[in-house]
Amino acid sequence: MSLFITFEGPDGSGKSTQIGLLTGYLRRQGHPVYVTREPGGTPIGDQIRQILHDIHNTEMSARAEILLYSASRAQLVEQVILPRLAQGEIVLCDRYADSTFAYQGYGRRLDFEALQLITAFATQGLKPDLTIYLDLPVEEGLRRKEAANRAGQGELNRMDRLAVEFHQRVRAGYLEMARREPERWLVVDASASVEEIHRCICAQVEEKLRSLLPT
Ligand code: TMP
């Protein structure tokens, strides 16, 4: 049974840990699971990711930025996500189009209608069945990311260098999107323990899987 689940949340919210745990949980139940991420997830997407995250690319325009994220997404949807879903796999994606609405829309204040058109074109209209948002106060997210970076884990990217107000707009944007489409979003308090968050995510994924069973 195919299912497309995306993970969203500020940097440092623990998305990777939760994706790893959910992958193990679903595989132990015999589901075929494919894990990918944005930007990237394909050889072309990974090259685009390098351009996007290069902290030296300070002159990148906001329009170029959104087109690059969308180009990476278009490649991932066509080359990986749609074929995997067609084979009945569960696809878990670390970030997807909602990151564009949160960061480029709410964060950079780019025109929403333009973002919607570009996104619909890039994704061929593919929307997630479930989007898990790991919510964390902005300062805590940035603190976690910097600590990880000092410990030699994770990369600091161009977004991490933006002002706290930018990240606050991003968080408010995520929460607004979740309020508007509650049937698709699961908002989880990312300051809870890893195990608690995992249990909450598994319960919601189980419910989604049940809802897709033929009656
Ligand atoms: P991450 O791989 O550490 O999550 O970093 C990805 C960064 O890219 C993160 O700061 C959010 C940003 N981003 C956007 O601004 N727009 C997008 O569409 C995507 C997918 C990511």
Here the CATH number for the domain that contains residue 36 is 3.40.50.300
| Digit-coded pLDDT (tens) for 160-181 | 777 899 999 999 999 999 999 9
Percent of the chain with pLDDT over 70: 100
Q: Ligand 1 mean position to 213 CA, how many Å? A: 33
Task: Please give the Cα distance from 211 to 69 (Å, whole number).
Answer: 32
Task: Please give the Cα distance from 158 to 130 (Å, whole number).
Answer: 28
This prediction's pTM: 0.94
Q: What is the DSSP letter of 187?
A: E
Nearest to 74 by CA among 97, 103, 107: 97
Nearest residue (CA) to ligand 1, atom 16: 100
Q: Ligand 1 mean position to 29 CA, how many Å? A: 31
Report the number of distinct structural domains present in the chain: 1
- pLDDT for 26 equals 98
Q: Ligand 1 mean position to 127 CA, how many Å? A: 18
Containing structural domain, residue 11: 3-212
Whether cis (ω within 30° of 0) applies to the bond prior to 182 is no
Q: Ligand 1 mean position to 38 CA, how many Å? A: 7
Testing ligand 1's pocket by substitution, the residue of 6, 8, 95 carrying the most ligand atoms inside 8 A of its CB is 95
Q: In sequence order, which residues have a C-beta less than 8 Å from that of residue 44 and are 6 or more positions away?
A: 72, 75
